[in-house]
Chain A
């Protein structure tokens, strides 16, 4: 059959006559006789032509597709089958690798995050917490009311007696435009000014602080740090600059896993927080009413409770209210009326300037 040949040395064109045997092609390229075994030939279809190359060489043959089919009718099928088999193996291998990575990140790392968090040396976690606190200081400055802060500090110290925490619980009021409380790694608990304003009774505030202290004791924060490290690694490294769909799938899977774990952690912190209050003889009756009011806030979007529970970062407040109501015990009030007024006033006035403490 006739073919156009390139010798792989120059960009010139040669017209050659190719002999086809049952196992190879033979032709002359310049002075060189060439023998290309079918097993070494790669075939690339180009419309009504095909381009042939011998693996690892620059030389090329271009022949009419019909000629090629006629010449290799018997031998082409195994080549195509081999190619399909190789691709199937590749896809199966990659899918297995993907499944292994998914298992590792969404099951392995979360399962390991508990033990990992417990194995993390407390000094290391404390140092991590200090770094976070220093960075948060710029967004959420500490409230200026020293007297109120002192009462909160004292309450944090008091809570330590009722729990089994490797850390000092350091409670601090901060200015932030939201009703919330945070536990940082290493024992720092931040309460926002809006939350202090929203709390109706000392019991409610005490319950929130005890809940956050329980997160610290159970090392939930450190667990979340480990989990996000795993998810971050997979997002940055595996999915990389890939297609949008894959990235979204990983993000969704990640947030669903995170939500499941955070819901478990919240429920655990509710129960343990109340237990800590009981250990110290404090009332734990403030938790339920506070959740009920938060639930009222949740409902302002008029969304169904089930949807909120599945997709919101605030797990269903009403359910948590019922659970904590069932566990609630009466007891001493955490703050005297005087102390309560002082705490309420802690965030009036300009916040403290960020400092490098």
Chain B
């Protein structure tokens, strides 16, 4: 009577997502990863990152069952070796072009534009790897679609953002989120991404605040820095100690000013950051389920501030703790509405790429 052994589960089972990471347990891991990174010239990072992901995934529960991260450090390492080979070829090419003559260097410019598309490619490929190494109840996720066309889309949208002086940015961010979620599958079931639902979240108000705030901030910075720059330019060959003391005083004041402006930029970008995260979450749909993210600007601000302080005072050592903290923060504010018929979901026929994230690692892109 094997089938009667199956636990009864209603077709529209309500969903409950919980992140239960014990943050204190990441202190030891942070120390271990940091020391081994130093010892191995950061070559250990692929295994360190894998362990962090494994712990975060396995402490994330959907309806009391933990997710699973099945990636391996070696896969990331091989991806890195491949990307290293490509980087070396690129560097040799750049060096070789120098030998062709003074203005052959201009030949490299189109390649730098191509690099933007390559960043998009790398983001998509990294997301594909991550999805394929994520499982729940033994069923894998996977990402369909083409990384190359995502790269082109990325290039086009970035140009659009540039041409519009940033005003297209909210549009760009949603359009970039769309293929990542619309191509995602859990087993044989597709996710969907509804731009209509995502647009219900107002992001342009907070964006305007951020945009004008940044312009005003830059204006203030320039107004305050201009006299200093002029004066510094005049005192190039100055040897008078008093004037030099004054100069270093002015320099330190400028440093304080920069830090304050950085904080200001961070502060005025928080409402937009929170709104965009809510907007993207709202667009995500799976089966009968809808996603809501309950976060506000203030909460995101606390998260960022805490992360920045932790990284600053630990010289980057506490990165794993920061990642766990951020995952816990966001996942515990995700509310899943509606239900899913789990028994009807079958295993994904794809097992995903054999190695991962090389390019994303080279660009320093991976989020976690």
Bound Cα distance A319, B152 (Å) = 58
Bound Cα distance A239, B37 (Å) = 10
Cβ A98 vs Cβ B39 within 8 A: yes
Bound Cα distance A46, B3 (Å) = 27
Cβ A15 vs Cβ B5 within 8 A: yes
Cβ A59 vs Cβ B138 within 8 A: yes
Among A30, A246, A300, contact of B38 (Cβ-Cβ < 8 Å): A246
Interface string of A65-81 (1 = CB under 8 A from B): 00000000000000000
Bound Cα distance A31, B88 (Å) = 54
- B303 smallest CB distance to A (angstroms): 20
Among A58, A59, A246, contact of B37 (Cβ-Cβ < 8 Å): A246
Among A13, A58, A237, A240, contact of B88 (Cβ-Cβ < 8 Å): A237
A128 is an interface residue with CB less than 8 A from chain B: yes
Name, among B38, B140, B186, the residue most crowded by chain A CB atoms within 10 Å (CB to CB): B38
Cβ B34 vs Cβ A239 within 8 A: no
B136 is an interface residue with CB less than 8 A from chain A: yes
Cβ A10 vs Cβ B319 within 8 A: no
A139 is an interface residue with CB less than 8 A from chain B: no
Cβ B39 vs Cβ A302 within 8 A: no
Bound Cα distance A47, B102 (Å) = 64
Bound Cα distance A94, B68 (Å) = 26
Cβ A131 vs Cβ B101 within 8 A: yes
Give the residues in chain B near A90, CB-CB below 8 Å: 47, 73
B45 is an interface residue with CB less than 8 A from chain A: yes
Among A10, A127, A229, contact of B343 (Cβ-Cβ < 8 Å): A10
B29 is an interface residue with CB less than 8 A from chain A: no
Give the residues in chain B near A233, CB-CB below 8 Å: 88, 91
A306 is an interface residue with CB less than 8 A from chain B: no
Cβ B58 vs Cβ A98 within 8 A: no
Bound Cα distance A36, B309 (Å) = 47
Interface stretch of the complex, out of A1-9, A265-273, A280-288, A334-342: A1-9
B344 is an interface residue with CB less than 8 A from chain A: yes
Cβ B139 vs Cβ A6 within 8 A: yes
Cβ B139 vs Cβ A130 within 8 A: no
A147 is an interface residue with CB less than 8 A from chain B: no
Give the residues in chain A near B102, CB-CB below 8 Å: 130-131, 133-135, 356
- B324 smallest CB distance to A (angstroms): 15
Cβ A297 vs Cβ B239 within 8 A: yes
Bound Cα distance A15, B100 (Å) = 70
Q: A91-B44, A131-B99 are contacts. A11–B136 as well, Cβ < 8 Å?
A: yes
Among B54, B84, B99, contact of A238 (Cβ-Cβ < 8 Å): B84
Interface string of A20-59 (1 = CB under 8 A from B): 0000000011110000000000001011000101000011
Scan residues 101-156 of chain A and give those whose CB is less than 8 A from a CB of chain B: 101-102, 124, 127-128, 130-135
- A29 smallest CB distance to B (angstroms): 8
- B346 smallest CB distance to A (angstroms): 5
Among A9, A127, A243, contact of B319 (Cβ-Cβ < 8 Å): A243
Q: A7-B138, A300-B239 are contacts. A238–B42 as well, Cβ < 8 Å?
A: yes
Among B43, B44, B58, B362, contact of A241 (Cβ-Cβ < 8 Å): B362
Bound Cα distance A8, B91 (Å) = 45
Cβ B5 vs Cβ A242 within 8 A: no
Bound Cα distance A91, B48 (Å) = 11
Cβ A135 vs Cβ B140 within 8 A: no
Contact size range, A:
35 or more
Cβ B34 vs Cβ A94 within 8 A: no
Give the residues in chain B near A127, CB-CB below 8 Å: 99-101
Q: A6-B139, A14-B6, A91-B36 are contacts. A128–B244 as well, Cβ < 8 Å?
A: no
Among A46, A97, A101, A239, contact of B58 (Cβ-Cβ < 8 Å): A46
B280 is an interface residue with CB less than 8 A from chain A: no
Cβ B87 vs Cβ A236 within 8 A: yes
Chain A residue, CB-CB nearest to B239: A300
Cβ A249 vs Cβ B38 within 8 A: yes
Bound Cα distance A297, B73 (Å) = 53
Cβ A97 vs Cβ B138 within 8 A: no
B107 is an interface residue with CB less than 8 A from chain A: no
Cβ A244 vs Cβ B316 within 8 A: yes
Cβ B105 vs Cβ A98 within 8 A: no
Cβ A130 vs Cβ B101 within 8 A: yes
Bound Cα distance A66, B119 (Å) = 47
Among A14, A51, A296, contact of B7 (Cβ-Cβ < 8 Å): A14
- A342 smallest CB distance to B (angstroms): 23
Q: A8-B347, A44-B68 are contacts. A98–B101 as well, Cβ < 8 Å?
A: no
Name, among B9, B20, B66, B100, the residue most crowded by chain A CB atoms within 10 Å (CB to CB): B66
- A163 smallest CB distance to B (angstroms): 25
Q: A8-B347, A241-B364 are contacts. A13–B58 as well, Cβ < 8 Å?
A: no
Bound Cα distance A243, B366 (Å) = 12
Give the residues in chain A near B83, CB-CB below 8 Å: 240
Interface string of B312-326 (1 = CB under 8 A from A): 000111010000000
Scan residues 316-348 of chain B and give those whose CB is less than 8 A from a CB of chain A: 316-317, 319, 342-347
Interface string of B294-316 (1 = CB under 8 A from A): 00000000000000000000011
Give the residues in chain A near B139, CB-CB below 8 Å: 6, 8, 10-11, 58
16 residue pairs bridging A and B, Cβ less than 8 Å apart: A8-B139, A8-B347, A10-B345, A13-B342, A15-B5, A15-B6, A29-B2, A51-B66, A94-B40, A124-B99, A134-B102, A177-B233, A177-B236, A241-B360, A243-B319, A245-B38
- 9 new A-B contacts, CB < 8 A, other than A10-B346, A14-B7, A245-B34, are A31-B2, A51-B66, A130-B102, A177-B233, A229-B91, A232-B91, A237-B87, A241-B363, A302-B241
Sort A-B residue pairs by CB-CB distance and give the 8 closest, nearest first.
A241-B364, A134-B102, A98-B41, A246-B42, A242-B42, A6-B138, A94-B40, A244-B316
